[in-house]
Amino acid sequence: MIILGIETSCDETAAAIVSGDKKIRSNVVYSQIEHHAPYGGVVPEIAARAHMDAIDWVIRQAIESANIAFDQLDGVAATCGPGLIGGVLVGAMAGKGIAAALSLPFVAANHLEAHALTVRLTNNIEFPYLLLLVSGGHTQFVKVKGLAKYELIGSTMDDALGEAFDKTAKMLDLGFPGGPAVEKLAKRGSTGRFRLPRPLRGRSGADFSFSGLKTAVRHQIEKFPPGKLSDNDKADLCAEFQQAAVEVIRDRAVNAIEIFRENQRTKGSLVVAGGVAANSAIRRALEETALEHGLPFIAPPVGLCTDNGAMIAWLGIERLRMGLSDGLDFKPRPRWPLNELSR
């Protein structure tokens, strides 16, 4: 089985060819960073136009890099949500067009489900497992019981962690994308100088809250006269922000593991996925927590944590193997929670 995967949910135009033997034959990603950098964040209208300009080239590049022809495809999968609807429509229509022209089965891919199943492409992992899905728009613990079988254990009550990283970077004028910039500067800084909260730490359950942490960063910045925040100040603030996030994640992970283990016969694994999973401090903290509680820890390679077409193609393979496909009249959607997929 050879599947084309198309991903356009945010600010990367991506396409990949993946085969049923778990070989990524091509994985092309066109980044829009230069389009959005002047604005300090993703502008939906600009993203949609950039996807339209790049989509044909990216798909053809994926086909050519895989050294196959379009008529060798067995199916097409394209992200149909959740995400910025303008971009989602571009990829969905491209995928539907190819599927229609070649009379191929079409999979309307849920972007979150693709992240959730990436480890089944990169590792030999069986269901069930505990997933921390942490990205720009989502922060949630999910019990992955099987394909289209998801149980939400905990979620953010306000901002996602990726959003908090990006807004912290914007307040500190670190450029775009914000998450990597904060992580890089945090390595130069020291913790303890600034006092930031650890929201919900010590509370029951596995929910998150990052709005207060983001606001606390702003309050610390406002204590400085305009233009007087030095590079060292920014580094220390980034270090404290990241440390606060890590401590919250470790605390919430312990509770999530306990909930995951209730009425659970198999040990399972702790898995992290999503763009923020590329953060080395967060990966290290989760690995330590998993080991302390006797769970294997699995994270996809960093390049497969951020948005990519390979994860969409793999989701297509998983679904088509189960006999699941979608009509070409499937309507893309900006919001599409994982639990709506459960059957």
Q: Is residue 121 part of a domain?
A: no
Q: Looking up tokens 């199943």, which residue turns up?
A: 117
pLDDT surpassing 60 at residue 3: yes
Q: Could you read off the pLDDT of 285-298 as tens digits, one per residue?
A: 999 999 999 999 99
Query: The sheet that has 12-19: what strands, in order across it?
Result: 24-31, 12-19, 2-7, 75-81, 106-110
Q: Tell me, yes or no, whether 213 and 261 share the same domain.
A: yes
Q: How far apart are the C-alpha atoms of 327 and 225, rounded to whole Å?
A: 58
Q: Is residue 323 part of a domain?
A: yes
**343 falls in which pLDDT band (50, 70, 90)?**
low
Q: Tell me, yes or no, whether 171 and 278 share the same domain.
A: yes
Q: How far apart are the C-alpha atoms of 126 and 145, rounded to whole Å?
A: 9
Q: Tell me, yes or no, whether 284 and 150 share the same domain.
A: yes
**263 falls in which pLDDT band (50, 70, 90)?**
confident
Query: Is residue 168 helix, strand or coil?
Result: helix
Q: Is residue 241 part of a domain?
A: yes
Q: Is residue 243 part of a domain?
A: yes
How much is the pLDDT for 11?
94
Q: What is the mean pLDDT of residues 247-265?
A: 94
Q: Tell me, yes or no, whether 228 and 194 share the same domain.
A: yes
Q: Tell me, yes or no, whether 202 and 335 share the same domain.
A: no
Residue 216 corresponds to which tokens in the numbers above?
């606390």
Q: Which residue pairs from 177-185 have beta carbons closer than 8 angstroms and sit at least 24 positions apart in sequence?
A: 177/33, 178/40, 178/41, 179/136, 179/275, 179/276, 179/278, 179/279, 180/278, 182/238, 182/241, 182/242, 183/238, 183/242, 183/279, 183/280, 183/281, 185/234, 185/235, 185/238, 185/239
Full residue range of the structural domain in which residue 196 is found = 126-299
Q: Tell me, yes or no, whether 80 and 199 share the same domain.
A: no
Q: How far apart are the C-alpha atoms of 104 and 189, rounded to whole Å?
A: 53
How much is the pLDDT for 342?
65
Q: Exposure of 295 by Cβ count < 10 A (0-12 exposed, 13-18 middle, 19+ buried)? A: buried
How much is the pLDDT for 40?
82
Q: How far apart are the C-alpha atoms of 115 and 341, rounded to whole Å?
A: 14
**267 falls in which pLDDT band (50, 70, 90)?**
confident
How much is the pLDDT for 83?
95
Using omega within 30 degrees of 0 as the cis cutoff, is the peptide bond preceding 199 cis? Answer: no
Contacts of 203 (CB under 8 A, 6+ apart): none
Average pLDDT of the chain is 95
Q: Tell me, yes or no, whether 136 and 265 share the same domain.
A: yes
Q: Tell me, yes or no, whether 40 and 82 share the same domain.
A: yes
Q: Is residue 222 part of a domain?
A: yes
Q: Tell me, yes or no, whether 282 and 316 share the same domain.
A: no
Q: Tell me, yes or no, whether 252 and 177 share the same domain.
A: yes
pLDDT surpassing 80 at residue 139: yes
Q: Can you point out the beta strands (E) in the chain?
A: 2-7, 12-19, 24-31, 75-81, 106-110, 129-134, 139-146, 149-155, 270-273, 297-298
CA 131: distance to chain centroid?
A: 12
Residue 85 corresponds to which tokens in the numbers above?
């609807």
Indicate the number of domains in the chain.
Answer: 2
118 contacts 304 by C-beta, under 8 angstroms:
yes
pLDDT surpassing 90 at residue 340: no
Q: Tell me, yes or no, whether 255 and 148 share the same domain.
A: yes
Q: What is the mean pLDDT of residues 305-324?
A: 97
pTM of the predicted structure, to 2 decimals: 0.95
Q: At what angle do helices 161-171 and 178-186 cross, to 10 degrees?
A: 70
CATH code of the domain in which 162 resides: 3.30.420.40
Residue 260 corresponds to which tokens in the numbers above?
């995951």
Rounded-to-10 torsion of CA 11, 15, 16, 20: 100
Count, in order, helices (H) and strands (E) of the chain.
10, 10
Q: Tell me, yes or no, whether 155 and 71 share the same domain.
A: no
Q: Could you read off the pLDDT of 215-234 as tens digits, one per residue?
A: 999 999 999 999 899 999 99
Q: Is residue 81 part of a domain?
A: yes
